[in-house]
Amino acid sequence: MTDWSNHFSQHARRAIPSAIRSLSEFPRATDSIPFGPGEPDASLFPVALMREALDAILTDETSARSALQYGPSEGDPMLRRLVAEHMNKRGVACAPDNILLTNGAQQALNLASEVFVDPDDTVLVQVPTYPGALQVFLAHGARLADVTKADAATRPALIYAMANFQNPTGISLSVEQRRELVTLAHRLDTVLVEDDPYEVLRFDGDALPSLLALDTETRSIEEAHTLYLGTFSKSVAPGLRVGWAAGPRVLIEKMGLLKQTEDLQPNSLAQAGLVRLLEHGLEPFAARVQAAYRIRRDIMAEALRQHFGNRGAWRVPQGGFFFWLTLPEHIDTAKLLEHAAKLGVTYVPGAAFTPDRSGANTLRLSFSAAAPERIAEGVRRLARAFDEYDQNG
């Protein structure tokens, strides 16, 4: 086998595998209960409606041809309009020109990083944070720093944050904390990338304004420093690979140019399917997934209370997919995972979510992928693994 490693670019050398995706090779019991992956439950996908939508599109010759042909780099004009209307309802005055459609929010995040981050630039992140974002920033050669310790002396190339039901902590920022982030971005003269995949998954409490909504309260979107990332992966289905960025037109155009260079355009068929599916808005889909995941959140909250007792600390999230557990200092959750996997439950060790792999005594539990009737059993197994590990090391 030829050794190519000496010929790899700096970018290729910096790229690292996902700390989460590599867990999929972990040995585990056959009836394992998956609290690891943050993927939606496929039984909630609107399969029948999607079938009808695609059938209608492919039955009409004109719509069929356009759903299978090349399209604009920035995405289907009708879907851009629908997304702009969605953002309008969320308090963001914007036009279709302020929307770029992408292959999921991940591509929007990568494009934003590509537009702003040069090697050795600083990127401010919440700690812990989404590993897929760490992968992106590290591939671009960024130095990562904790946004709560922002040093006014260095202008960061980018600030990355989730305001709603953050991955992995499940925590939402207060309105005041949100305002502080927006103010920080303006003060440091940088872009604030707001990743909001779980927005539709609020179970309790009133919706809070997005960072972009706050940023545009007193100024036009063209003057905003926030770039909002959204996705249909949680409300409809991730396999469609459709997400979006919303922000100042000059940034949307630059990201669109890079998207054109990198893969020409988003998938036409999936976009056409979404346009038809969302004829009556996103709300019915949001309501459906909210109700289903709320039940799971409640089951996991109760199971943790019952089986985990005072072994660790956690907060019940108001939405999203995740509980974040902090265990006693002497517990290494990477080692605990070996016990847990043998007992038939998996999760993601907390070190996967930190730039310096700290947080060895933390872990993320996802309630999105496990069947509701299995969640309590999964937590029971985890508590048993904890006891085994704590007693025998």
Contacts of 200 (CB under 8 A, 6+ apart): 234, 235, 282, 285, 286, 289, 290
CA distance 95 to 82: 10
- According to CB under 8 A, which one of 191, 193, 213, 245 is a site residue for a copy of itself? 191
- Cβ nearer to a copy of itself, comparing 195 with 333: 195
- Cβ nearer to a copy of itself, comparing 17 with 27: 17
Nearest 5°: the CA angle 102, 103, 107 is 75
- Cβ nearer to a copy of itself, comparing 115 with 295: 115
Residue 131 φ/ψ, nearest 5 degrees: -60, -30
243's tokens? 């997400």
- The pattern of x and - marking residues 131 through 170 that bind a copy of itself according to CB under 8 A reads -x--xx--xx----------------x-------------
Residues within window 364-383 making contact with a copy of itself, judged by CB under 8 A: none
Report in angstroms how near the CB of residue 235 gets to a copy of itself at its nearest: 12
Residues within window 44-73 making contact with a copy of itself, judged by CB under 8 A: 45, 47-48, 50-51, 54-55, 58-59, 61, 64-71, 73
The DSSP letter of residue 199 is T
Contacts of 280 (CB under 8 A, 6+ apart): none
Residues within window 4-33 making contact with a copy of itself, judged by CB under 8 A: 4, 7-12, 15-18, 21
Residues that bind a copy of itself (rule: CB under 8 A) add up to a total of 87
Report in angstroms how near the CB of residue 29 gets to a copy of itself at its nearest: 22
Report in angstroms how near the CB of residue 300 gets to a copy of itself at its nearest: 21
The CB density around residue 307, as the number of other CB atoms within 10 Å, is 18
Report in angstroms how near the CB of residue 369 gets to a copy of itself at its nearest: 10
* Beta bridge partners of residue 71, listed in sequence order: none
- Cβ nearer to a copy of itself, comparing 261 with 306: 261
User: In this structure, is the dihedral angle defined by the CA atoms of residues 236, 238, 241 and 247, taken in order, positive or negative?
Assistant: positive
From 100-108, 314-322, 327-335, 339-347, give the range in contact with a copy of itself by CB under 8 A. Answer: 100-108
- Cβ nearer to a copy of itself, comparing 136 with 301: 136
Residues within window 290-349 making contact with a copy of itself, judged by CB under 8 A: none
Residues within window 269-288 making contact with a copy of itself, judged by CB under 8 A: 269-270, 273
Identify the residue whose tokens are 């992140």: 125
Residues within window 206-265 making contact with a copy of itself, judged by CB under 8 A: 222-225, 237-241, 248-251, 254, 257-258, 260-265
Identify the residue whose tokens are 């590509």: 114
CA distance 346 to 35: 5
Report in angstroms how near the CB of residue 116 gets to a copy of itself at its nearest: 6
- Assess contact for 46 and 277: CB atoms under 8 A: yes
Report in angstroms how near the CB of residue 166 gets to a copy of itself at its nearest: 19
Contacts of 12 (CB under 8 A, 6+ apart): none
Report in angstroms how near the CB of residue 226 gets to a copy of itself at its nearest: 11
- According to CB under 8 A, which one of 81, 85, 91, 115 is a site residue for a copy of itself? 115
- Cβ nearer to a copy of itself, comparing 7 with 330: 7
Report in angstroms how near the CB of residue 287 gets to a copy of itself at its nearest: 19
Among 274, 224, 223, 244, smallest CA distance to 111 is for 244
CA distance 123 to 119: 11
CA distance 369 to 375: 10
Angle between helices 372-392 and 283-303 (to 10 degrees): 40
